[in-house]
Structure 1
Amino acid sequence: MDGRARVAWHLRRLRVARGFSQEALAVDAGVDRTYVSGIERGSFNPTVEVLERLARALGCDVAELFAIPQADDEVPAPLRPGRKKA
């Protein structure tokens, strides 16, 4: 797994674990929602500054976005679609 895929994996994992939508994370980090989506899909290559802002919004260190996932880690599940909480 390359660095971009690791960032995508952990960004989605942390975002979902904290219950943030892509839009909420984007607002907190000061980036566009489509940019967060692109990073999670591995389509965009974010700068270190953007990674630091995303990590700060998620309440983690930027290094956590680059950790190698364990072999038994499951693919992060998406949040329930829609804007309202269940």
Structure 2
Amino acid sequence: MAWNLRRIRVGKGLSQEKLAADAGVDRAYFAKLERQAVNVGVDVLDKLSGALGVQLVEFFEMPEEGAEQPSVLRGGRKPK
């Protein structure tokens, strides 16, 4: 789930801070979600999917074999 969350967020050029604010989720908690340091409830996933404009099921897609780890945005900014 965390892999897909980061992949979708970075693909849309959103920082953790921006997405957390848009979804009404604490930024520190959101960062822990992406690091797989906390468990997440369906209510939070629903907020995140709404803020990202994706269906909830997209968080649970299996990555293709050999897929690279999603990149991170440098300094919370959109990639150039």
Length-normalised TM-score, structure 1? 0.85
Match of 1:74 in 2: 68
For residues 49 and 38 of structure 1, the distance between their equivalents in structure 2, rounded to whole angstroms, comes to 16
Segments ≥4 residues shifted beyond 4 Å: 82-86
Match of 2:26 in 1: 32
Aligned partners of 2:19 and 2:51 also within 8 Å: yes
Q: Tell me if 1:42 matches 2:27.
A: no
Amino acid at match of 1:53: K
| Consecutive unaligned residues in structure 1, runs of 5 or more | 1-6
Aligned residues: CA RMSD: 1.7
Q: Please state how far the C-alpha of 1:9 moved relative to its aligned partner.
A: 0.1
**Farther off after superposition, 10-19 or 68-77:** 68-77
Count, aligned residues = 80
User: Which protein, 1 or 2, shows the higher relative CO under an 8 Å CA cutoff with sep ≥ 6?
Assistant: 2
Q: Please state how far the C-alpha of 1:79 moved relative to its aligned partner.
A: 0.4
Q: Tell me if 1:59 matches 2:38.
A: no
Amino acid at match of 1:23: E
SS in 2 for 1:81: helix
| Identical amino acids, percent of aligned pairs | 50
For residues 63 and 78 of structure 2, the distance between their equivalents in structure 1, rounded to whole angstroms, comes to 31
Length-normalised TM-score, structure 2? 0.91
SS in 1 for 2:75: coil
| Consecutive unaligned residues in structure 2, runs of 5 or more | none
